[in-house]
Amino acid sequence: MNAAHTGATLAFLLAVAPASAQNVKITPVGSHPGELCASDRAMVFEDPTGVRFLYDPAHNVTGGNDPRLGTIHMVLLSHMHGDHVGDQMLKAPGAGTCANPERVPAPNSTTAEVAAAKNAALVMTRAMSGFVATKIQAMHAGKPIGFCPQTGGATVVPVETVCASQTDLGGVFVAKTAKASQGVEITIVYASHVNNAPPALLSKPQQEAAKADGAVFEYGPATGFVVRFTNGLTAYLSGDTGIHSEMKTVVHDFHKANLAVLNLGNNPGIFSSGAYAVNELVRPASVILTHPNEPVTESGKLRPASRTAALIKELKPAAYLALSGRTMEFDSLGKCVAGC
């Protein structure tokens, strides 16, 4: 290799390194490595400043110390259904089938297990954080869970002990590292969905009362999130939701989200309405598809007969599958620049 070519190569590497350092990294955590499987929901997000959070632990982790997680500063929970708060945990990555991964009970919830193990901040509505905090208290011999300390409107992470964000629908929680001049802004937004807790995580009196009355225990509104990262990327994490007008007025018009993480599935009807919601209401530059309730891939490739494949054909933005363990990087404009 001649000197001119060596110099050109070095110049190229120096040119791309700073750009790469400014990307947001997103790593799905699913049941089978390299696949998008029926029960997959969880994702780890990493800001360029080092702030890292787990979104909806679900049934996708093997416990609080799942080695795939790494450092976790915050745990975000969209709603209390068992497949999100985590009334079961993954027996082991790759156990069972992509259509039906093998799971075992998680009596404290995977959300509480991860938050306790990682000493993380609970970023969710106060009704949900109260439930999760109670589980963590029981794990920590009754030690109470307080609100996250703030300095100048932001919580510095890592926090010293598990804490709650004290946010509700419309509220904003800001997390930053000690050396960063800017923080990651997390806004709780509306989701058109119900929010009842799984019976397995309720106390015996609650279980008996619910069974006697044919009732469920609701924990406030189901939610999604809009996350503004320090590189300018603004991501809409839909949670489980049907189509609704705030996808345009709040998520697009006000927050100007340029990346969407869209939960699929039959209950909210997104397989039917998702194309309109993404193309006409949210209008992001890119969309990541997750929560499919079907095995979407085989050997890492899209199954052409899947409902997810049919939806992708209708989407205008660039669409990416949340393949477990594959880290994607997004720039400030919502474009995937690596790992896609």
* pLDDT digit string, tens, across residues 156-184: 999 999 999 999 999 999 999 999 999 99
Residue 275 CB coordination number (10 Å): 17
Reduced to 3 states (helix: H, G, I; strand: E, B; else coil), residue 174 is: strand
Q: How many helices (H) and strands (E) in the chain?
A: 7, 21
State the average pLDDT over residues 186-196: 96
216 — pLDDT class (breaks 50, 70, 90): confident
Q: Which residues contact 215 (CB under 8 A, 6 or more apart)?
A: 209
Cα(119)–Cα(303) distance, integer angstroms: 39
Residue 159 phi, psi (nearest 5)? -80, 160
Q: Does position 2 have pLDDT exceeding 90, yes or no? A: no
Distance separating alpha carbons of residues 242 and 264, to the nearest angstrom: 10
pTM above 0.95, yes or no: no
pLDDT of residue 20: 56
- Tell me whether strands 88-90 and 163-164 are parallel, antiparallel or unpaired: unpaired
Contact between 146 and 13 under an 8 Å Cβ cutoff? The reply is no
